[in-house]
Copies of this chain bind each other. A is one copy, B any other.
Amino acid sequence: MKRTASLDIAFSPASVAIAGVGPVTAGRNYLESLLDSGFKGKIYPLNPRGGEISGVPIYPNIKDVPEPVDYVISCVPADLVPQLVEDCTENRAKVLSLFTAGFSETGTERGRRLEAEIRRLAQAGGLRLIGPNCMGVYSPKSGLSFVSDFPRESGAVALVCQSGGNTIYFVRLAAQRGVRFSKVISYGNACDVDESDLFEYLTDDDETEIVAAYIEGVKDGGRFYRAVTRLSARKPVIVLKGGYTEAGARTAASHTGSLAGSNAIWDGLLQQAGVLRVHTLEEMLDTVVTFLFLPLPKGRRVAMVGGGGGASVLTSDACNANGFTVPTIPPKTADEITGFLGTSAGMILTNPIEFNMAPEASYNTARSLLSLDAIDLLLGTCVFGQQPWPSFDLWFDFFCDTIIRLHADIDKPIGVIIQSGIPSQEEHFLAIQRRLVEAAIPVYYSMSGACRAIDRFLRYHQKRLAALRSDCK
């Protein structure tokens, strides 16, 4: 079978079997997650004792399942995996994803040998392995998921992630910011399917427009370089290299048995391949959100709107310190704005501009600002918790109304920074975030995070444009 064909099946299985389903096992959790996520195909829980679970009949062994299974999940102990692999090949199953841990990541000879053995058995039987020591595949269009609360809708972002916990955390965080996924895979020790396979697959995957990856180590550097270079020629690739320090590398070795490699080599390699490198999951998400939702600004000249004098000073500093300018407003526009907002005491009416409690005036003000040639993009700031009294709560709704209206009417990029941290305003914060996200507006949690991501976005396109120009010469 072609290598990419088996990945097609992993992302769109018609049937799933789960080995090791008991009342309080991980297998049970996998089953519930599948049922909750609306998986469209057949489900075969496996347990030697048989019976029924959550209304689904249990098969004693995959060999008893009356059809070849597309995607098998292993939740049995490591020692039982070699037998499971043999049973799978007898069933002519296509892909085995191993939640089971206890292989090369233990650092023991025994663990390494066990991993080599299952790889050998699987290859001999034409079975592809994902993991071991991973969560496996989340593919919303098939309803295939390993947790119950991931979004059911598909999107344009693929996530390739060597850590199960980071996969889960990232998808949940990203979901709140409006990101939806085409394909997500947590691939653990990568004893068979690895990052290069996945990058090759995603290069031609029409459902994927942006690729984010968390990688602890690669085994074949040459192949990886070729795969990531080809991929990044086609779509933006954002890589978080886990284990880039001595301590991190040592941790990665015991996490997924990875050889982390030197940071300088990774830096050179990723840069050469045109990859966007980030260092935290939060940076990765800011970057994804930017590529997904922000139209490309023509430059770095920002109009800032928001509320709160001290907050405006801090966001101006953060904007300026991260490579963006905040131009002063020409007198004519300043007069226009004063006409809209009045000269209300204590309000800042330069750039940044404070919105008042009148949405129409705020809208007209921002419109004037954005119509200036000297402005490339608008960044709105909305800090929950700085207002003294509940009478200011309505301001957030007005701010949100105004931003959404501007976003619909005006042809310049708009982003919003929202800050929370105050439990009593958490619900309001989430409601405002939801409204902005539903309008496909990029949302960030700090001005510096926003600026760094937009800076990366601009540099990425400048570099591609420069390459294009030199190609044309």
Question: Within 8 Å CB of A325, what residues of B?
Answer: 247
Stretch in A55-63, A420-428, A454-462 touching the partner: A420-428
* Interface-central residue, A243, A349, A389, A423, by most chain B CB under 10 Å: A389
Bitwise interface map of A from 201 to 224 toward B, beta carbon under 8 Å scored 1, else 0: 000000000000010100000000
Complex copy number for this chain: 2
Contact residues, A322-377 vs B (CB, 8 A):
325-326, 328, 343, 345-346, 348-350, 352
The answer, yes or no, to whether A147 is at the interface (CB within 8 Å) is yes
Bitwise interface map of A from 298 to 338 toward B, beta carbon under 8 Å scored 1, else 0: 00000000001111111011111100011010000000000
Q: How far is the CB of A223 from chain B (nearest CB, A)?
A: 23
Q: How far is the CB of A215 from chain B (nearest CB, A)?
A: 11
Assess whether B254 is in contact with A319, with CB atoms less than 8 Å apart.
no
Assess whether A346 is in contact with B102, with CB atoms less than 8 Å apart.
yes
The answer, yes or no, to whether A166 is at the interface (CB within 8 Å) is yes
Q: How far is the CB of A189 from chain B (nearest CB, A)?
A: 10
A interface, size bucket: 35 or more
The complex places the Cα of A214 from the Cα of B311 at a distance, in Å, of 11
Question: Within 8 Å CB of A345, what residues of B?
Answer: 77-78, 100-102, 106
Assess whether B383 is in contact with A310, with CB atoms less than 8 Å apart.
no
Contact residues, A157-171 vs B (CB, 8 A):
161-169
The complex places the Cα of A423 from the Cα of B166 at a distance, in Å, of 17
Q: How far is the CB of A349 from chain B (nearest CB, A)?
A: 7
Given contacts A147-B389, A168-B388, A320-B248, contact A242 B310 (CB under 8 A): yes
Given contacts A173-B385, A389-B147, A423-B430, contact A310 B166 (CB under 8 A): yes
Report which A residues bind B (CB closer than 8 A).
24, 26, 29, 33, 77-78, 100-102, 105-106, 133, 135, 146-147, 149, 161-169, 172-173, 176, 214, 216, 242-248, 250-252, 254-256, 279-281, 308-314, 316-321, 325-326, 328, 343, 345-346, 348-350, 352, 383, 385-389, 391, 421-424, 426, 430, 446, 448
